[in-house]
A and B are shown apart, each in its own frame.
Chain A
Amino acid sequence: MYVAVKGGETAINNAHRLLADRRRGDRSVPAMHLEQIVEQLGLAVDRIMSEGSLYDCELAALAFKQARGDMIEAIFLLRAYRTTLPRFGYSNPVDTNRMHIERRISATYKDLPGGQLLGPTFDYTHRLLDPALMGSQDVETPVTKQAAEQSTPRVSQLLTQEGLIESDGDLPDDHQTGDLTREPMEFPMARDVRLQALSRGDEGFLLALGYSTQRGFGRSHPFVGEIRIGEVDVEIDIPELGFAINLGRIRVTECQMVTQFQGSAKSPPQFTRGYGLVFGQSERKAMAMSLVDRSLRARELGEDLTAPAQDEEFVISHADNVQATGFVEHLKLPHYVDFQAELDLVRRMRSEFEAAQERDGNAGEDLEAAE
């Protein structure tokens, strides 16, 4: 009987139907609304927007629901939608000095202009399961402070005044910001493109790499100069108008890691910086990103390249979880043509091996007989 797979089309349709059923689950439980996901699972939505490179809470929530809560699948859905959108232009750089800050902390100064502001953080919660959350209890209204009207200077700017930290750096006036999603990647990368790749890179991968630098694989002695979370204005220049117009606000997390630097032939001893900027509230990702950014600057600063986190081609080529998951998971596609070729080869080599053993065995017996 010929048993090879037939009826792939029916199988696929039935699989999709079953998937839809499992996604919905028990019909007696109310279906989730996107608003509930946006409002109550906001950090999941933030991560999807950040690694999906598309700022749209509702679409991210839809992707999350459609993916049954699978983060990478949701990120993939959002990316595949994003890629079909026309590109109108590029916004001006967002000014995080003028951020409407909800959280802002520095680990390097006890107090500083603008103050420390804890904001909505898990940091000092005790990780005890809260039975109250099993029901729907009323929640107190939060205590908030009137947001400061003036801009809050970044810690890096405070250090710059003394010349102890590298400055923001300049790009030539005619520098066109790279676009990872529109140009093929090339190594070595300019830092703007590298930062884009890190910003949409997998949180877990960057976390592990950042962690590895702390444990001695490319140690960089980091301090959190500052983390700030809040909303920033996005502006775009319209050539016909001659001035920038405001497109709206997005929530971002920015992290500036300050690292000690002994100096090298290329640069004087000073503090150097690693930078992290991601959509939404995603402190872990922004911190990991800034560690990895700093560590990837090893070549630029003339440091020894010894650790995986310093290897740009290794880090950037493997940071994208949509690419990684696709290629890992493609192994479940049929490979029987190649496997057939390998089977044939192994059988052949095996019979040659056995023939050789037999020959050697016979030779050994002859030898013994001769003795």
Chain B
Amino acid sequence: MNTHGELATYNFAYLDEQTKRMIRRAILKAIAIPGYQVPFASREMPMPYGWGTGGVQVTAAVIGPDDTLKVIDQGADDTTNAVSIRAFFQKVTNVAVTTSTRQATIIQTRHRIPEEQLGENQILVYQVPIPEPLRFLEPRETETRKMHALEEYGLMHVKLYEDIARNGHIATTYAYPVKVEGRYVMDPSPTPKFDNPKMHMSQALQLFGAGREKRIYAIPPYTEVVSLDFEDHPFEVQTFKDPCALCAATGVYLDEVILDDKGSRMFVCSDTDHCENRRNEGHHGHLSGQALEAQQ
């Protein structure tokens, strides 16, 4: 039997430098061909596949000691998996972390794009479960790669058309497919379609990592991103009847929170940082602390 004094000392950002170089090459290729899925030799990470290993590897490959990291899941900094990933990077990089969208240089996200407009000095890293937008129409990788190569996207349009024929509207609400720079059809990761317009001409670099499926893709800054639609059925985002119950914001994505077992519910900002900022600026929704106190 061996004696293992100390198990391992981990490199900055966990991955060894060769692995980081491999991932950076994949990222550069992805930036050069916007929307194209670049295969990369994804590593086993110390969190499970499907829990953000792709995003974590991308972040680990681009993060430097001077970066400020923000991690969100469902728009919130305080969801358990976001907490766990943020703690991981604090441990292996010791970089500054923040919940402020404005202060972050790298934002790793699952399922949302922050409400606040991102700038040129920022990178948005998406965690992607299934990178292939055509996967549910064609399960075989060998086939879908061919379809992308030949720009054969008829199947996708047929699917959207069938939705309209059956329901009168397109029944895809999240992971809504987009076309990038007029060439590749791309999966925006399972963000609600509400967020799709934010990807278009974004000033920030957008990187997508799918660890289990071993793919990286990217949208460089100022790239055209168009949600697929038809002339007579243009793309529409979700709208909410009421403003945020805490900060009274409108035109943002809201989470539905069930308040009791009698069916009362409230709608609040999914982007917690945005909501907090607005409340600090003096905006109050009808269920915020101040509003309730005023009622009493």
A-to-B contact residues, CB < 8 Å:
1-9, 11-12, 34-35, 38, 56-59, 76, 79-86, 181-188, 313, 317, 322-323, 325-330, 333-338, 340-345, 349, 352
A335–B39 CA distance with the chains assembled, in angstroms: 27
Chain B residues with CB under 8 A of A352 = 167-168
Q: Is the CB of B1 within 8 A of A341?
A: no
Pick 23 A–B contacts, CB within 8 A, sort by A: A8-B79, A9-B78, A12-B83, A58-B2, A80-B46, A83-B44, A84-B10, A86-B16, A183-B41, A187-B141, A187-B142, A313-B140, A313-B141, A330-B129, A337-B111, A337-B112, A338-B111, A338-B190, A340-B254, A340-B256, A341-B193, A342-B174, A349-B171
Beyond A8-B79, A334-B73, A335-B74: 12 further Cβ-contacts under 8 Å?
Answer: A4-B76, A34-B1, A35-B1, A59-B4, A187-B142, A188-B142, A326-B48, A326-B49, A338-B175, A341-B174, A345-B171, A352-B168
Interface string of B234-255 (1 = CB under 8 A from A): 0000100000001000000111
CB pair B129 A327 closer than 8 Å: yes
Is B173 close to A, CB under 8 A?
yes
Q: Identify which of B2, B73, B259 contacts A1 (C-beta below 8 A).
A: B259
B126 at the interface (CB under 8 A from A): no
| Docked CA distance A6–B276 (Å) | 13
B173:A345 contact, CB within 8 angstroms? yes
> Closest 10 interchain pairs by CB?
A326-B49, A330-B50, A326-B48, A341-B173, A184-B39, A327-B50, A8-B83, A326-B50, A83-B44, A79-B44
Asked if B98 is at the interface of the complex by the 8 Å CB criterion, the answer is: no
Label chain B's interface by main secondary structure: loop
- Scan B278-290; emit 1 where CB is below 8 A from any A CB, else 0: 0000000001000
Instruction: Quote the shortest CB–CB distance from A65 to chain B (angstroms).
Output: 14
Q: Which of A57, A80, A185, A337 contacts B74 (CB 8 A)?
A: A337
Question: Could you say which of A4, A57, A59, A327 contacts B255, with CB atoms under 8 Å apart?
Answer: A4
Q: Are B48 and A329 in contact (CB under 8 A)?
A: yes
How many residues of B are in contact with the other chain, CB < 8 A? 67
Closest to B175 in A: A338
Interface set, chain B 175-194, CB cutoff 8 A to A = 175, 190-194
Please report the C-alpha to C-alpha distance between residue A322 and residue B47 in the assembled complex, in whole angstroms: 10
Residue of B nearest to A85 (CB): B8
Contact A12 B78 (CB under 8 A): no
Give Cα distance in the complex from A327 to B54, angstroms: 12
Please report the C-alpha to C-alpha distance between residue A317 and residue B140 in the assembled complex, in whole angstroms.
10
Contacts of A344 in B (CB 8 A): 173, 238
Question: By the criterion CB–CB under 8 Å, are A338 and B79 in contact?
Answer: no
